[in-house]
Amino acid sequence: MVKLKEEKSTEEKIHAAAKKVFLSKGMAGARMQDIADEAGINKALLHYYFRSKEKLFEVIFVEAAQKLFPKINSIFDSDAPLFEKIENFCEEYIAVMSENPYLPLFVLNEISKDSEMFLGKFWSKQQFPKPQKFLEQVEKEIKKGTIKKISPLHLLINLISMSIFPFVGKPMIQFAMGLDELQFRNAMQQRKKEIPQFIIDSIKK
């Protein structure tokens, strides 16, 4: 029992250290030695738990995905009004991306290498987002005349892309705008309100 607790404690230290290193150095810049140093263990012990940086990153990715996808599906499947869903979507998506800002680039890089392998490997382990009810709700609101005639698909793409892009383009945005880490994080918090307000104002009659 003591050994199991020790192993769990070590794994938790490794996970926390890996997140911190991936956040500060990115996937490409992170080294196993950096993670071992951050966790306060030797590199051999780190390799005992995880054979490679990529394997460790996969675990971190799956953890983050398990936090995000069920929440997104819960929003899509709820009976909440459309505008409330848009607000909740941005809130949850940006919250998870703020905690795991390396995720978008990781996903894009892996998909560009082998999309079928990546989607089959990861998405099969998750409850993949199912936006059908949300898309149908948009169609209903159009027919009722509460919002403009828009493409439900493009509305969803706008929601996702406006939430994700700042994290993909983070270095460029920080450099161009002269933002430090705290200022960037504060800006992302503001986007939780700015994005839904912008979209709602653009579609409501």
- 3-class state of residue 147 by DSSP: strand
For residue 118, which of 92, 50, 128 has the smallest C-alpha distance? 128
Q: What is the overall mean pLDDT for the chain?
A: 86
pLDDT of residue 167 exceeding 80, the answer is yes
- 3-class state of residue 135 by DSSP: helix
Same domain, 94 and 174: yes
pLDDT tens digits, one per residue of 94-123: 998 888 777 787 777 777 777 777 677 666
The structure tokens listed for 174 are 């920080």
Encoded amino acid at 5, one letter: K
CB-based contact 92:75 (threshold 8 Å): yes
CB under 8 Å to 121, separation ≥6 — which residues? none
Same domain, 3 and 41: yes
Is 41 among the domain residues? yes
When divided into structural domains, the chain yields a total of: 2
Is 95 among the domain residues? yes
pLDDT of residue 139 exceeding 60, the answer is yes
Is 92 among the domain residues? yes
CB-based contact 121:64 (threshold 8 Å): no
Same domain, 5 and 67: no
Same domain, 41 and 99: no
Question: What CATH code is carried by the domain that includes residue 88?
Answer: 1.10.357
Q: Domain range holding 91?
A: 61-203
pLDDT at residue number 1:
46
Same domain, 46 and 70: no
Is 56 among the domain residues? no
Same domain, 42 and 95: no
Cα separation values, 198 from 61, 70, 88, 179, 194, Å: 30, 25, 14, 23, 6
For residue 58, which of 15, 98, 114, 94 has the smallest C-alpha distance? 15
Is 181 among the domain residues? yes
User: Could you tell me the pTM of the whole model?
Assistant: 0.76
Same domain, 37 and 103: no
Query: At how many degrees (to 10) do helices 53-77 and 32-39 cross?
Result: 80
